[in-house]
Amino acid sequence: MKDILLEDFQAVADSGIPFEELKGSSFLITGATGLIGSLLVKNLLYCSSALGLELKICALVRSVEKARGIFGADAPVDYVTADLSKPDFAFEGECDYIIHAASVTASKQMVEDPVGTIATAVEGTKRLLALAVEKRAKSFVYISSMEVYGQPDSGKKTAESDLGYVDIGSVRSCYPEGKRMCECLCTAYAAQYGLNVKSARLAQTFGAGILPTESRVFAQFARSALRGENIVLHTAGESEGNYVYTSDAVRAILLLLVRGESGQAYNIANEESHVTIRQMAELVVEHFGEGRTKVVIDIPEDSERLGYAPPVKMWLDASKMRALGWTPAYGLVDSYRRMMQYMTTTG
Ligand SMILES: NC(=O)c1ccc[n+]([C@@H]2O[C@H](COP(=O)([O-])OP(=O)(O)OC[C@H]3O[C@@H](n4cnc5c(N)ncnc54)[C@H](O)[C@@H]3O)[C@@H](O)[C@H]2O)c1
């Protein structure tokens, strides 16, 4: 465990989230071998030990071997294996709290297996919501995405009620439209079964704690800068992205779990971390390139096959999340600094 990550875990433990309410509780975390899920498990393990919370943590994964590689063979985590695109998994244990972070997230997989992408989202989320009702879970957070907004009205900041246009004739819309349906299921379970469930609409999240296998654009930019190689953009980089640092996102998700209003959705974004992809590449070159790297644009002829999201102009409004008492700690440059420091110390 590296210092920078420990510092992040301690910041979550010290953040004023009412952890005492969670004492002795059981958690089910899905997507636990992914970026967000793994950090949630690690943070809960840390807080449990540091604050004496005696949490019982169960991770829903497809590969226990992979999970043990991430958390360590002796980590006090129980595992349940399930492929959420097949909704009939069994779960015998208890769960007071569920955080559902499993999803297809790679654009290439979305366009190659759109049916599986929708099934994982809709079938999996419906099964987990039904499980929460069956287990009388106290709270459920569904990890959604800013992509639910599609192409919003770009004249102002995008708040939770500003749903934009999603082209359902585009194959890649399986992801945002799947997220929309999952949020709709959350609303339905809150209304029909009284389930305490909220949706966390995450901006692009990166920082310390990314996994060695991470291949999204933020990791590619950081690796290029660390190796002194050019940052190659495969689009014109005109999409305006919204970002949030990993432990800021973890703090927001845990706060939502205990303080979010049922049936509601919340944007999780650092409003200041808002740039086009191209500007972000240039920021990495400027701050971390050490004069050895530059931005190069190389758009492949078959770029549609790679399933890039359509360019959007979106600036997320995070005031609803801030009203719960959340403030992000790290902007873009610090997010990169911390992530790259973590990458160099973890290899
Ligand atoms: N990281 C981001 O920048 C970001 C931004 C917006 C939204 N999100 C959302 O946050 C959640 C977590 O994303 P992440 O960044 O950790 O992604 P990730 O790709 O790192 O992890 C996704 C996890 O889901 C699991 N999964 C995928 N298909 C599954 C299936 N059929 N059955 C069981 N498990 C399955 C994977 O094994 C993995 O553990 C996702 O819902 C994603 O859409 C992430």
Predicted confidence (pLDDT) per residue in 128-152, tens digit = 999 999 999 999 999 999 999 999 8
228-254 per-position pLDDT tens digit:
999 999 888 998 989 999 999 999 999
> What's the CA-to-centroid distance between 232 and ligand 1, angstroms?
25
Q: How far is the CA of 215 from the centre of ligand 1 (A)?
A: 13
Q: Are strands 26-30 and 97-100 parallel, antiparallel or unpaired?
A: parallel
Within 10 angstroms of residue 329's Cβ, the number of other Cβ atoms is 14
**Counting beta carbons within 10 angstroms of the beta carbon of residue 228, is it exposed (0 to 12), middle (13 to 18) or buried (19 or more)?**
exposed
Q: How much is the pTM? A: 0.96
The per-residue pLDDT for range 65-75, each reduced to its tens digit, is: 999 999 999 99
Q: Whose CA is nearest to atom 11 of ligand 1?
A: 101
Instruction: Report, as an integer, the average pLDDT of 155-167.
Output: 93
Does residue 314's CB lie within 6 angstroms of at least one atom of ligand 1? Answer: no
**Relative to the CA of 204, which ligand 1 atom is closest?**
3
What percent of the chain shows pLDDT beyond 70?
97
Q: Does residue 284 contact residue 255 with C-beta atoms inside 8 Å?
A: no
In angstroms, what is the span from residue 36 Cα to ligand 1's centroid? 7
Dihedral, CA of residue 78, residue 71, residue 49 and residue 20, to nearest 10: -60
CA of 290 to the centre of ligand 1 (A): 33
Residue (of 134, 67, 62, 57) closest to 99 by Cα position: 57
Residue with tokens 């899920």: 37
CA of 19 to the centre of ligand 1 (A): 25
Tell me, what's the pLDDT at 303? 62
Q: Distance between CA atoms of 171 and 300, rounded to whole angstroms?
A: 19
Q: What is the pLDDT of residue 88?
A: 80
Residue 2 pLDDT level (bands cut at 50, 70, 90): low
Pocket test for ligand 1, best of 58, 70, 103, 339 (most atoms within 8 A of CB): 103
Task: Give yes or no for residue 153 having a pLDDT over 90.
Answer: no
Q: Which atom of ligand 1 is nearest to the CA of 106?
A: 19
Sign of the dihedral defined by the CA atoms of residues 320, 326, 56, 38, in that order: positive
CA distance 55 to 49: 9
CATH of domain 3-205+245-271+315-329: 3.40.50.720
> What percentage of the chain carries pLDDT values higher than 90?
87
What pLDDT is attached to residue 346? Answer: 84
Which segment of 242-246, 301-305, 312-316 scores lowest on mean pLDDT?
301-305
- In the block, residue with structure tokens 């449990």: 48
pLDDT reading at 1 higher than 50 = no
pLDDT tens by residue, 265-285: 999 999 999 999 999 999 999
Residue 307 pLDDT class (50, 70, 90 cuts): low
The Cα–Cα gap between 32 and 267 comes to 22
Query: 87-117 burial string, b = 16+ CB within 10 Å, else e?
Result: beeebeeebbbbbbbbbbbeeebbbebbeeb
At residue 347, the pLDDT reads 65
Domain range summary for the chain, segments of one domain joined by +? 3-205+245-271+315-329
Mean residue pLDDT across the chain: 95
Closest-lying ligand 1 atom to the alpha carbon of residue 211:
20
